[in-house]
């Protein structure tokens, strides 16, 4: 029951009605017996500064940040962690003693899902499809974990150079046209192939990034960070080729659990979060 003692949490974005975070976080809070409540709050871009100030004034314990505010919120924060600084985006904010601390738990979620599969990026060659915000988190996570090389397959390599330029200390990060022979050579050497694009996400479930599956070794892990549907066209084709596959559900649960820990100091029950997510997706 919500009372005057209940601590407040939430997520801000625009639009936000589709967010699955309230179902996932409230289930974990109930399981932990914590007197918290988590809500979704629509915040238009022009209202971001006022909204953050309002949440601060209302005594919120913290909140998640999603599109289109992940980068825009940076100047409004007092501190950011290394992951948020390297990725250039914040998805979790903690309010402590009137100060706003920003974190990026997408990186932890991305790498945590790989660890659950028993896959270590250390010394491995990775190929990523896309060069947007999700790709930045994946690139930094792979670099941080010791990947040997990362190739970005994109429609427009010139635009992807912005992402490459964010990591000048990692020269083994390259961008190439995903229809090129160079990209097919990168696929042939890949230990892991990651789709960070929205191609294949519901409702356009038939879409798929262009991948020449004949180039890929069967032991290459195919990872799609999309979680709806649970098996995208990309993952269907990877499985048909004989590759092990991983969808975006563990990453979503992992980033949510990392935020939960930041706010409460406790570990979230990931099984409960996953079940709440499954039910929400079913609806």
Which segments of the chain are extended strands (E)?
Answer: 7-13, 36-42, 62-65, 79-80, 92-96, 99-103, 125-129, 149-154, 173-177, 192-195, 221-224, 245-246
Beta strand spans in 70-116 (E): 79-80, 92-96, 99-103
- What tokens does 245 get? 């596959």
- Give CA–CA dist 38/26, Å, rounded: 6
Choose the catalytic residue: 5, 7, 53, 70: 70
Q: Which residues contact 2 (CB under 8 A, 6 or more apart)?
A: 37
Residue with tokens 């790498």, as numbered in its chain: 111
Give the separation between CA 73 and CA 90, rounded to whole angstroms: 7
User: CA 226, 229, 234, 237 torsion: positive or negative?
Assistant: positive
Alpha carbon 56 to its chain centroid, in Å, reads: 25
Known catalytic membership, residue 159: no
Catalytic residues: 70
């Amino acid at each position: 029951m919500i009372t005057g003692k209940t601590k407040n949490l939430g997520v801000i974005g625009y639009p936000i009605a589709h967010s699955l975070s309230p179902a996932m976080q409230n289930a974990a809070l109930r399981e932990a017996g914590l007197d918290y409540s988590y809500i979704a709050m629509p915040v238009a871009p022009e209202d971001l500064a006022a909204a953050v100030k309002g949440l601060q004034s209302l005594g919120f314990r913290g909140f998640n940040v999603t599109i289109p505010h992940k980068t825009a919120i940076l100047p409004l924060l007092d501190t950011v962690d290394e992951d948020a600084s390297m990725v250039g985006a914040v998805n979790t904010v903690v309010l402590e003693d009137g100060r706003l601390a920003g974190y990026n738990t997408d990186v932890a979620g991305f790498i945590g899902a790989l660890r659950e599969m028993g896959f270590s990026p250390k010394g491995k060659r990775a190929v990523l499809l896309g060069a947007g915000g999700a790709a930045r988190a994946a690139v930094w996570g792979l670099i941080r974990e010791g990947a040997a090389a990362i190739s970005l397959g994109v429609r427009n390599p010139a635009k992807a150079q912005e992402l490459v330029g964010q990591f000048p200390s990692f020269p083994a990060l390259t961008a190439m046209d995903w229809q090129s022979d160079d990209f097919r050579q990168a696929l042939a050497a890949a230990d892991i192939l990651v789709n960070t694009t929205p191609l294949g996400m519901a409702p356009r479930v038939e879409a798929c990034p262009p991948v020449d599956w004949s180039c890929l070794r069967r032991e290459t892990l195919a990872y799609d960070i999309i979680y709806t549907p649970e098996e995208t066209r990309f993952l269907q084709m990877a499985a048909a080729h004989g590759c092990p596959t991983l969808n975006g559900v563990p990453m979503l649960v992992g980033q949510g659990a990392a935020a939960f820990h930041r706010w409460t100091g406790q570990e979230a029950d990931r099984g409960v979060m996953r079940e709440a997510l499954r039910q929400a997706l079913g609806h």
